[in-house]
């Protein structure tokens, strides 16, 4: 079976769409980072964010903010901010997970 010219055009177009979509920025690249300060450094679960960022909290999120509660999906930690957890893998090798 030979590919016709129109088939090649379709393949090139489909590849261009896939490459173009893969190069779009992710929400973590566009949204504000989690600040690197003492209030945020130890937060490891999203429910801890809601202590301050709920409607009655000290720093509520803006009204236009999505009602989602999975903060880490869209907000990355600051450049220097990370949490480290040491653990041993199945072979007894110590590893450090950072996020």
Alpha helices in the chain (DSSP H): 5-22, 27-30, 38-41, 46-53, 71-74
Instruction: Give every residue of the chain whose pLDDT is below 70, as ranges.
Output: 79-99
- pLDDT at residue 15 in the model: 98
- pLDDT at residue 88 in the model: 58
- Return d(Cα 65, Cα 27) in angstroms, integer: 13
The answer to whether 33 and 78 are in contact (CB under 8 A) is yes
Nearest partner of 29 among 70, 68, 79, judged by Cα? 79
Q: What is the pLDDT of residues 73-98, one digit of tens each?
A: 888 887 544 454 545 566 666 555 55
Instruction: Look up the domain containing 66 and give its range.
Output: 5-98
Could you give the number of structural domains in the chain? Answer: 1
The answer to whether 54 and 63 are in contact (CB under 8 A) is no
- pLDDT at residue 20 in the model: 94
- pLDDT at residue 81 in the model: 44
């Amino acid at each position: 079976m030979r590919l016709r010219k129109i088939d090649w055009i379709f393949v090139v177009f489909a590849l261009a769409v896939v490459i173009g979509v893969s190069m779009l920025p992710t929400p973590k690249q566009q949204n504000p980072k989690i600040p690197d300060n003492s209030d945020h450094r130890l937060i490891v679960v999203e429910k801890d964010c809601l202590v301050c960022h709920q409607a009655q909290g000290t720093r509520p999120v803006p009204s236009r903010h999505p009602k989602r509660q999975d903060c880490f999906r869209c907000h990355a930690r600051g450049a220097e901010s990370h949490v480290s957890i040491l653990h041993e893998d199945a072979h007894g090798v110590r590893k450090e997970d950072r996020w």
